[in-house]
Amino acid sequence: MSGRTTGLAAWPSTADDADRLFAALGSASRREALAELGRRDDPAEVADLAASLAESTDRPDDADEVAVRLWHIDLPKLADLGLVTVDYGTRVAELTPDGRHAAAVTARHENGQ
């Protein structure tokens, strides 16, 4: 993101950055992906992440549908914001330090705190 200095303290720094952040976090599936990655200590294989998300939601999505959405939509948007890193060779994703902060903030919001 342009104009970013250190951590989320100076982020988002422009109206465009804010729009992209709010659009990304406005998606329940992206918030759920951040939360699930935040519960893990290690990077997650996309297939394992998708299986966990498919099990944990009330939606009848199967893990394959969730994996496609993660791979083609959700993870690229989160990576573009610097919240996750994705290894496209091994199909592994993990939170960045900013992503850990965003996951914690999102979890507090989801829990009504």
Q: What is the CATH number of the domain that holds 46?
A: 1.10.10
Q: State the residue for tokens 């900013």.
A: 98
Confidence band, pLDDT 50/70/90 cuts, at residue 37: very high
- Number of domains the chain is built from: 1
The parent domain of residue 84 ranges over 13-110
* Domain annotation covers residue 75: yes
* Domain annotation covers residue 68: yes
How do residues 58-96 score in pLDDT, each as one tens digit? 665 688 899 999 999 999 999 998 999 999 999 999 999
The answer to whether 85 touches 76, Cβ cutoff 8 Å, is no
| Mean pLDDT of the region 29-38 | 92
Query: Using a CB cutoff of 8 Å and minimum separation of 24, what contacts does 92-96 make?
Result: 92/43, 92/44, 92/45, 92/46, 93/37, 93/43, 93/44, 93/46, 93/49, 94/37, 94/40, 94/42, 94/43, 94/44, 95/34, 95/37, 95/38
* Domain annotation covers residue 94: yes
Question: What is residue 73's predicted lDDT score, i.e. its pLDDT?
Answer: 95
